[in-house]
Structures are given as structure tokens and as C-alpha cells.
Amino acid sequence: MENEQKKQVVFSAIQPSGTVTLGNYLGAIRNWVKMQDEYNCIYALADLHTITVRQNPAQMRKNIIDAYASIMACGIDVEKSLFFIQSHVHTHAELAWVLNCYTQFGELSRMTQFKDKSAKHADNINAGLFTYPVLMAGDILLYQADKVPVGADQKQHIEITCDIAKRFNGLYGNVFKIPEGFIPKNGARVMSLQNPLNKMSKSDENVNGCVHLLDSPEVIMKKFKRAVTDSDACVRYAEGKDGVNNLMTIYGAITGKTYEEIENEFAGKGYGDFKTAVGEAVVEELRPIRERYEQLIADKAYLEECYRKADEIALKISSRTMSKVMKKVGFIR
């Protein structure tokens, strides 16, 4: 990692708040894998972010290990990329506190995800839920990231990160690199199979709405056969055909086919044939990942060796930024 300064730095993180979904994979993780040769990639399991919602401690520990193994199974190569566990690197929490003092209350109150999550967790609207965009900003700025791959729903977080960094730099000089958020060309936005107006989510109340990376082939096929479509009975991408559009997006992301090619392939065929084809494509795409996951999760010592090594390097890199921040603010070294 140290000698790859010429490559641009990419930073991205994912919460281990449950099993990794097909949406996580097609929307983000598959692109993480593709970026490993072109960029100096730094990836994190953002476990500090998960506790804005109450967690069962034993289940949380299991989720962290499962997510680490799942993401490695997708093709993250720990020899090429840095893949660490956020809570093991204390600079994240430290920088978050400092940046909290350089972030305006009004900025945070405008964050749409805070409004959405407050509505979902009305019994636990905690301060962490309000300030977690600052922790996210710290995650990115610690590594002087050039680029941050994001989904369309995360653009606001990149904007506030840039605002905080510019404010800090304006006061203390050039401390942080201003990151650029970019939406990867082949990152698919995958929606719920049961309510295609909502993003596919592990917290979906309908179990058939979300496909998990480790679902068995039988379960995957069952979920796709039950996927919501419409009464049009024609495979075409069009406004108002949200269920079919979603299935076409998934099929296209896996096969590389355009919407026009998919329409031609299923011309004159019913939704039954189409759903089966999408389900089979997903099963085959996920099969090697599931097999690799089984090997990794059976070797906890190897997993620990991987993340301990990455944690150490992440601490070393991020400490450079943290030391500069502390000095600029006026703390005694």
C-alpha cells in the first residue's frame, strides 16, 4: 500500500448491520473489486455507524465477521486493497469529535437520511443518528481520499464532507484533500422485489423482497418467482413498470446485456420465463461467492490475521492526518 502513492486513493465503507444483499453486491461491492487494479483502494467495515440503531451484541459480533468474510468472498484481495474494521482504528472516533466542532447544527438538520431514519426509529432518535455524517466525513478525510464511490442517495454525505473539509482548510491551511464523489458507471440501483419503489434492504419487512448473498439457490429462485411485475405481460423497460424495470436492471447488471437486448431476448415470452432467467443468472453469479465464503468463515484465524494486519496499516496511514489535525487545532503533542 505504501508505495502506491501514484494511484488515486479510493475510500468506501459498508455497514455490517446484517447479511450482505444482492443490492450491496451489484450496487457497490462488485465495483470495489473492479477498482482494485486501477486505484489504491481503502475499504472499511463501518461498524461504528451501526450502533445508531440498537444492536444485540452477540449478533453484532457475528455480523461483523460474516460481513468481512462475505466481502472478501466477493473478490476483495487483501494483498491489493486495505480492508479493515473501523472500530479497531481509533482515529475515526477521534477525528469525528474534532470535526463535530467544525460542523454546523443547521447543516446536519438538513440531512434527508436523518429525517428518514428518525421516522423509522422514533423511539431512539439519538445524537449519533444526527451526527453520523460527521463520522462518515472523518472516515473519508483521514485517508486523503481522491474519490468516493457512492450511490445517488449518498451524494448529500459527500457534499457535507467537502463543506467540512473546506471550512477546516480555510481556517488552518491545506490539511484535507477535497474528495470527489462519483457514481460508478456499472453500479446498479437494485430495488425490493416486493416493493420496487423502495431500495432493496436487509430490513425489508417482506422476506421475499430482499435477496441475500448467502441465500441458497432454492431460496433465490423462489424469491424471483414471487417478484412483483405488472399486468402488461411484456418484458420492456418503461415508466410505470417498476417491478419489470428492476428485474431488467438486475439481469443487465449480471449479463452485461442492454435493455434493448433483454427486450429482444424475451420478445413473445411471459414473465414466468423472464423471472426464471433472472433467478438463474443471480444463482450462478453468487454460487462461487457462497462457496468462497464457506471456506473463509471456516478459518476464523485467517480472517483475524487479515483484518488485524489491515487495521494496523489503516491506523498508521490515518494517524498522519490525525497528528496534523491535532497540531493545527492547537493541542499539545
Question: For the chain, how many residues are written?
Answer: 333
Alpha helices in the chain (DSSP H): 22-24, 30-35, 47-50, 57-73, 91-100, 105-109, 112-120, 127-141, 155-172, 217-225, 242-255, 259-265, 271-297, 300-329
Which residues does residue 109 pair with via DSSP β-bridges, in sequence order?
none
End-to-end CA distance of the chain: 27
Cα dihedral angle (190, 191, 193, 196), rounded to 10 degrees?
Answer: -150
Question: How many CB atoms are closer than 10 A to CB 153?
Answer: 12
**Sheet strand arrangement including 147-149:** 82-85, 40-45, 9-14, 147-149, 180-182
CA distance 40 to 146: 10
CA distance 260 to 243: 17
Query: What's the half-sphere exposure (Cβ side, CA atoms, 13 Å) at 76?
Result: 30
CA distance 117 to 130: 10
Catalytic residue at 222?
Answer: no
Helix/strand/coil (H/E/C) assignment for every residue in 126-140: CHHHHHHHHHHHHHH
Q: 34, 177, 202, 324: which one is catalytic?
A: 202
Angle at 12 between CA 57 and CA 308, to 5 degrees: 55
User: What phi and psi values does residue 329 have, to the nearest 5 degrees?
Assistant: -70, -30
Catalytic residue at 117?
Answer: yes
Catalytic residue at 199?
Answer: yes
Active-site residue list: 117, 199, 202
